[in-house]
Structure 1
Amino acid sequence: MEGKRIQHEGAQANLSGEVAQELDFYRIRSTIASLAASDEGKELLLAREPGSDEAQIEQLKALGREWSTYLHSVRPQAILSFPPVRGLFPLLGKEGAQLEQDQIFALGIFCSSQEKARSSLTAAAESLPLQELARLAAGMPSLADAQRDIFSVIDSSGEVRDLPQLRAIRSKIAALHKEIESTIRRYTSDPQLSAALQSTVPAYKAERELLAVRSDRRGAIHGIIHEVSASGQTVYIEPDEIVRANNELIQLEFEFQSELRKIFRELTARLGGHRESFSEAHQTMLLLDASCAAAQWQSQVRGIFAERCDLAQEPPAIRGARHPLLGDKAVPVDICFMDGKKVLVITGPNTGGKTVTLKTIALFALLNQAGFPVPAEEGTRLPVFSSVFADIGDEQSIDESLSTFSAHMKRIAQMAEHADSRSLILLDELGSGTDPQEGGAIAMAVLDMLIARGSFVIVTTHHGILKNYGYTNRSCVNASVEFDTGTLRPTYRLLMGVPGESHAIDIARRSGLPDNVVAKARSYIASEQADVSSLIKGLTAKHMELDALMQQETSRAAELEAKELRLHEREIRAKEKEIEL
């Protein structure tokens, strides 16, 4: 699935691109990629887009779950860092090709990392439930022969070994270095020459060892002048006694490098027999590295890999959802759809968390379809969508001279053209930016159309008429962001099944609006909204009662389970005493 993306005509119709950017998918992806052990694993993750192939999505999540099991065990690190090697594979076995020393060492490190992963996962699978990881490890071709060939030429630090073909040349080079150093030392330690030398430390110019001599005393040392300093005060002389040795040294160094290139060419040719094995093992290693990075991020955010959701059998559910960019400030939210209800209408005051909830649900869908974990609790299940459409925010399109409302309508028109039963639609403040009556009518008509298409829709709104729509339409479910009427502050909890009030007048009073203005405002809406507000308050109270009853029921069930456990323990002790007697 790596690199795949679902293409759809029209703006924001993809699972990737602008809609993924708007939902912060790429920010999360970058964080996960930073946890990869290899640079190529990081590149693979940075190229991953949400997909719609359920089998591939489930495989990635299965690998992530198993990695989570491995990482929480006492097993050693299985994926070790390795340098980029993909670009070297085409050279293996190619006529006349020759890998450089650092490239050969990179392949050796990769072989070692692959063998470490293979052996670690195979051993761990004997005691841990790692079926998919063990299958991948067992399916990787062995690179033991290639590894043996590589490290027969270089050692574990990347240096060339003392090979028979090189030993004689190395011995001659060492002898010449010793001869040259001895001669130079004789010059630098001669008291009669101390006044002629600028330094007793030899200089290296053009791979030759030279003496730094004062220009006015150059006649004191016979030899070849190779260079003069910029000030003209120093000349660099190669004494006649070491000219021959330096010439021989250069010749031997050339022979050494020629022999070394021959060894590297022969090794490159031999490794050609393992080219396909390298390529296959590399693909598996990157998959292991990427899925391990996802599991590490899961641990960091205390998340889970979402369960598969078959819409024909059950509705989606998200438990304890936390937007990953909010960190510890995130308030866990439960979003549970009901059978046959594919439209969620979220209402409530500004800054109450409606848009964050909407973005969290959509971000979770994209993360899930990229095979990534989500910061939520067990029991979270998500379907696979073929496309995601988003109309979030109120930016005006200056380039196209569109008002806020016109910009919203243009995006919604694109949704109307492409949405289907496997689409996820996000509509923030649907029907806003125009006359409330007309905006509400358009909003309901849009929802009618999307319901007919069978799309999953999450909509936030302030329109009171949409609260009633959410109750009267069997395909919809209302939800609201909870508001503490005592402190007049949002709690950021989502109440399913209960529409929300805007609390605009209460907030206005708390913000300092004169009491007489507040009273006048209440009188204007008293006759129109009293019944609806009373209904919402009653529903909210019932919701709180239900929460309390559920908590009491959970406590009673826990007490009953504890009593049964104590009784069972007494029975076991009684039987043990009988056996002793």
Structure 2
Amino acid sequence: MADRRLDEVAELVVLSREAGRVPTADVPLLAPILGAAAPDGAVLEPRRLAEVRDFLGTVGRVRAHLRRDSTRFPRLATLAASLGDLAVVREPLARTLDEMGLVRDDASPTLAAARAVTRELRRLLEARLEQLVRDPALAAAVAEQYVTLRNGRFVVPIRTAAVNAVPGIIADRSGSGETVFLEPLFAVDLNNRLLLAARDEEAEERRVRAELTALVRAHAGELAALETALAWADALGAAAVFAERYGCTRPLLGGAELALAEARHPLLLFGGRPVVPLDLRVPADRRGLAITGPNAGGKTVALKTLGLCALMAHAGLFIPAAEGSRLPLLEAILADIGDEQSIDRDLSTFSAHAENLAAIARAAGPGTLVLLDEPGAGTDPVEGAALAVGVLDDLLERGPRIVFTSHFAQVKTFALASPRLDVAAFDVDPVTGAPRFRLAYHTVGQSLALPIARRHGLPARALETAERLLAGESRDLARAVTRLEESRLGFETRRAEAEEERSRLATARADAEALAGELRARQRQRWVEDLEASRRFLHELEGRGRALLDELGKRPDPAALRHFVRDAQAEIAAR
């Protein structure tokens, strides 16, 4: 499933570059519409019918977009085939509804006739009433010169004091009481006829909408299937836009190796800030990776980056990492990251983590990825470190891939000693001590709690006391780690120099081989040219000799023959 969606996203990324984004629109959900249309005799409102029409129009545009080049994009063409043209519903809706979603006059001959009668009666009634309010003889009685509606009937505003000046029926009164809305007697019959004509029009329009609703009801299953297919196309379009906007690439799924090159946290990309990419890897012959380093150095972000990229890949999404990044196929990703303290469940920070670890241990196994952020934290450091080592050892026996962070010296020692684990550390600036968010492999980093506290302004007296109280074992391990890091940096420097020298020698060797090849080519070319020149000389000499023999046959001349031989020998010697 993931590979199929990755194939579709890959094709859509290319198509979007050439032809623009998938033309999906903000169509409403069909479920409420189909639910309203389901009962026999149900009649949908015009706006609901228009929503179905617009939905089918969007389906058609997306279908045409996806099958633009079925040879180059066969998977998109297959998806387009699932977006069928439900013409039996689309065409009647398009014929019957106008651009505003209202039923057209020509939806049926009966409706056209009914609306024509309604318009004529309304025109006649308004004209008669306009004539009344503009009659100079009634100027003192008419409150204002306009025609309005009250209770669905056309009326005119008459001053209350002059109500008897116009015979008619009072339909309403203004809030001030100074004006009444009067239906003149001559308008009563016209209003009655208009009301009946409007009822006929409404009944015919309702009949038309009932027919359209019946079509929607009869094809509800097909409409729901189209909605599902359109949602899939819309999701693919969003995935392609995300991949293009944030420089994502297709991950390689399968195999035993986990290798994310230049991976970036997906959510950090949204903020628009520069994100330092990470190289996260667990070789095929290892079961896990221990990440160490200072506080705020990037350890938790690394775990989240890995977890989110793995989830994205298995959801069929491109990931924010370099080309060639690969992940094993996973059945589950199990994580314990962050503070799960819960007052409602009566769980402390440590209790919440312990509960999570127990659940992870039950679910872990081959085919799962376990992400643990500082296991054993939140309790006594000695007991917490022992528990962390025990949990990690147990998980390694269960067979999942494990990536975890830790500050505990015992956990670092365990990771260094285990042949099943790789170690890596986030490094810091050697001058300022500030984190550089770069992951260095085959080393363990210090937590640097005291230097970080000093940088954040903790009092010097507090730091001096902390340094005096620092346990001997922790101090010795810190010194050992420092020496190890210094040795590693020295080896890395010498290795880089060796690599540079090897690269220089390889370049020089390549240049020498290229030069030798060029000389050999030139020599071969010279041989060819010399051989061709010799052939031409011999051919010319032969021609001259034959000409001389012909001449001597006609008139013998030994001196000429000796002269020719002497000249030929000289020319041959010169060559």
2:243 aligns to what? 298
In structure 2, C-alpha distance between the alignment counterparts of 1:151 and 1:114, rounded to whole Å: 14
Q: 1:479 to 1:191 in 2, by over 3 A?
A: same
Q: Does 1:228 align with 2:173?
A: yes
Q: Which of 13, 24, 38 lines up with 1:79 in the alignment?
A: 24
Map 1:1-400 → 2, pairs under 5 A: 56-75=1-20, 77-89=22-34, 95-126=40-71, 129-163=72-106, 164-271=109-216, 274-311=219-256, 315-327=257-269, 328-394=273-339, 396-399=341-344
In structure 2, C-alpha distance between the alignment counterparts of 1:553 and 1:220, rounded to whole Å: 114
Conserved 8 A contact 1:141-1:280: no
The one-letter code of the counterpart of 1:489 is A
Shift of 1:67: 2.1
Conserved 8 A contact 2:374-2:404: yes
Q: 1:110 to 1:402 in 2, by over 3 A?
A: closer
2:371 aligns to what? 426
Q: Which range is displaced more, 341-350 or 521-530?
A: 521-530
In structure 2, C-alpha distance between the alignment counterparts of 1:252 and 1:504, rounded to whole Å: 87
Q: Which of 499, 509, 513 lines up with 2:460 in the alignment?
A: 513
2:533 aligns to what? none
1:535 aligns to what? 484
Shift of 1:94: 6.2
Map 1:425-574 → 2, pairs under 5 A: 425-510=370-455, 511=457, 513=460, 520=468, 527=476, 529-543=478-492
C-alpha RMSD of matched pairs (Å) = 3.2
- Structure number with greater CO (CA < 8 Å, separation at least 6) is 1
In structure 1, C-alpha distance between the alignment counterparts of 2:447 and 2:385, rounded to whole Å: 16
The one-letter code of the counterpart of 1:200 is Q
Q: Which range is displaced more, 331-340 or 543-552?
A: 543-552
Q: 1:76 to 1:536 in 2, by over 3 A?
A: closer
The one-letter code of the counterpart of 1:325 is L
Conserved 8 A contact 1:309-1:316: no
Q: 1:178 to 1:495 in 2, by over 3 A?
A: same
Q: 1:557 to 1:121 in 2, by over 3 A?
A: farther
1:495-546 per-residue CA deviation (whole Å, 9 max, x = no partner) reads: 2222112233443554462596687579956655433321122224444665
Conserved 8 A contact 2:143-2:157: yes
Shift of 1:454: 0.6
In structure 1, C-alpha distance between the alignment counterparts of 2:64 and 2:504, rounded to whole Å: 47
Conserved 8 A contact 2:34-2:216: no
The one-letter code of the counterpart of 1:354 is K
1:24-58 per-residue CA deviation (whole Å, 9 max, x = no partner) reads: xxxxxxxxxxxxxxxxxxxxxxxxxxxxxxxx222
Q: 1:523 to 1:268 in 2, by over 3 A?
A: closer
| Paired residue secondary structure (2:437) | strand
Shift of 1:154: 1.6
Shift of 1:174: 1.4
| Paired residue secondary structure (2:149) | strand
Bigger Rg, structure 1 or 2: 2
| Paired residue secondary structure (1:72) | helix
Shift of 1:462: 0.9
Q: 1:547 to 1:323 in 2, by over 3 A?
A: farther
1:6 aligns to what? none
Conserved 8 A contact 1:142-1:277: no
1:402-455 per-residue CA deviation (whole Å, 9 max, x = no partner) reads: 554343333222222332223322221223334433332222211110000011
Q: Which range is displaced more, 448-457 or 503-512?
A: 503-512
Conserved 8 A contact 1:498-1:540: no
2:550 aligns to what? none
In structure 2, C-alpha distance between the alignment counterparts of 1:289 and 1:220, rounded to whole Å: 67
Q: Which has the higher helix share?
A: 2
| Paired residue secondary structure (1:124) | coil
Listed as ranges, the gaps of 5+ residues in structure 2 are 522-575
Shift of 1:65: 2.3
In structure 2, C-alpha distance between the alignment counterparts of 1:238 and 1:558, rounded to whole Å: 104
Conserved 8 A contact 1:78-1:116: yes
In structure 1, C-alpha distance between the alignment counterparts of 2:418 and 2:189, rounded to whole Å: 100
Q: 1:297 to 1:267 in 2, by over 3 A?
A: same
In structure 2, C-alpha distance between the alignment counterparts of 1:404 and 1:73, rounded to whole Å: 52
Q: Which range is displaced more, 369-378 or 316-325?
A: 369-378
Q: 1:295 to 1:223 in 2, by over 3 A?
A: same
| Paired residue secondary structure (2:68) | helix
In structure 2, C-alpha distance between the alignment counterparts of 1:455 and 1:274, rounded to whole Å: 48
In structure 2, C-alpha distance between the alignment counterparts of 1:520 and 1:489, rounded to whole Å: 24
TM-score, normalising length: structure 1: 0.79
TM-score, normalising length: structure 2: 0.79
Q: 1:557 to 1:257 in 2, by over 3 A?
A: farther
In structure 1, C-alpha distance between the alignment counterparts of 2:116 and 2:172, rounded to whole Å: 30
The one-letter code of the counterpart of 2:75 is E
| Paired residue secondary structure (1:359) | helix
Q: 1:521 to 1:80 in 2, by over 3 A?
A: same
Q: 1:397 to 1:190 in 2, by over 3 A?
A: closer
Conserved 8 A contact 1:480-1:499: yes
Shift of 1:75: 4.2
1:7 aligns to what? none
Q: 1:479 to 1:542 in 2, by over 3 A?
A: same
The one-letter code of the counterpart of 1:192 is A
Conserved 8 A contact 1:81-1:113: no
In structure 2, C-alpha distance between the alignment counterparts of 1:517 and 1:376, rounded to whole Å: 45
Q: 1:499 to 1:239 in 2, by over 3 A?
A: same
Shift of 1:548: 7.5
1:259-282 per-residue CA deviation (whole Å, 9 max, x = no partner) reads: 111122223334555444323322
| Paired residue secondary structure (1:336) | strand
| Paired residue secondary structure (1:227) | strand
